[in-house]
Amino acid sequence: MKAILRAAFLLAFLSSASIPAEAQTIPPPVHWVGSWAASQQIPEPQNALAPDELRDTTLRQIVHLSIGGTQIRVHFSNAFGTAPLQLTSAHVAIPVSAATAEIKPSTDSALTFNGKPDVLIPAGADYVSDPLPFHAASLSDLAITVHMDTPPARQTGHPGSRATSYYVHGDMVAAADLPNAKTVEHWYQISEVDIAAPPHAAAIVALGDSITDGHGATVNANNRWPDDLARRLQTAPSTRNLSVLNEGIGGNRVLLDGLGPNAMARFDRDVLAPAGVRFLIVLEGVNDLGTLARDADAPAPQHTALVERILAAYVQMIARAHAHGIKVIGATITPYA
């Protein structure tokens, strides 16, 4: 029997080898690069929506891309969910503006997941949509609209969106507008938008705390420093294919959980997992230092020990990034008191 199987395998191999080379040509794989991203966490109680707000609900969220292209895919996240999350449908479109739920109907397109319009995302997981032909310009806004029948068992999101999201009850994913929609300045269950890019394109991850996340930035204006960097990169042909992914969480720390998982704990998901990452800017640590002496001066030995642990964490991040071919740029912690 084994001899027969070996002979069959050899015959199949020789048959494929006899096929003309032109008929065996395999198209090169698509080079995906993240164009927008947001760090995921469990929304604090004041930033979470009530479960009934997400029951039979259409949620439209606006994100700002850095590089553009003609094919996209969207990452949905149930990273902190405790049960599977079902999205009954999901669409993308070009919004009329960042400050309205209105979209341009001619651009509305349905996303699919393994060819189907709905998806069941396991607890603790992310799910990437099928590739979609879609013209997305650099530095443009994208509306991501989803419908869910049942609210998440536990929400996953990014409270510091500095962008308005809109929600109404009922399935209105393809609607040109969401009349009388409720609004909230948070993102939920979305983590990344990828663009099919040229082979030399790459992403820069900005890993940080509120300075990176955009504390003090204007809502719907996209004027955080990673946004400014993305705009600067678009002004020169040599850097036009570099995207910027803002993986900042307000109040975040390098070593300890607080507002969001600590930087070391989220490193794989926020730095190594996004598509096409080749550069990392680390601007984090001020909350570790500030929390130590928030209520009273800390003894010098305690401060020294904390600094040593932060430096050791930086070394860990650098080693993990280098193992994946990512160049690391350390940003100086800014003055504070």
Encoding tokens for residue 145? 């609209």
- Is pLDDT of 23 > 70? no
Q: For residues 278 and 33, is the Cβ–Cβ distance under 8 A? A: no
**What pLDDT band is residue 132 in, cutting at 50, 70 and 90?**
very high
Quote the percentage of the chain above a pLDDT of 90.
87
Overall average pLDDT of the 229-233 stretch: 98
Residue 6 scores a pLDDT above 60: no
**pLDDT score of 17:** 45
Joined tokens for residue 27: 């198209």
Q: What stretches of 170-224 adopt beta strand conformation (E)?
A: 182-184, 187-188, 190-196, 202-208
Q: What is the dihedral of CA 138, 36, 125, 146, to 10 degrees?
A: -70
pLDDT of residue 11 exceeding 80, the answer is no
Q: pLDDT-derived band of residue 28, with 50, 70 and 90 as boundaries?
A: confident
Contact 279, 71 (CB under 8 A): no
Q: Taking a C-beta distance cutoff of 8 angstroms, is the pair 207, 331 a contact?
A: no
Length of the chain: 337
Q: Which residues are within 8 A (CB) of 246 and not within 5 positions of it... i.e. 6 or more apart?
A: 37, 38, 206, 212, 213, 214, 224, 226, 227
Tokens of 50: 């009530």
Taking the model in full, what pTM does it have? 0.91
pLDDT at 294: 85
For residue 211, the model assigns a pLDDT of 97
- Quick check: 4 pLDDT over 90? no
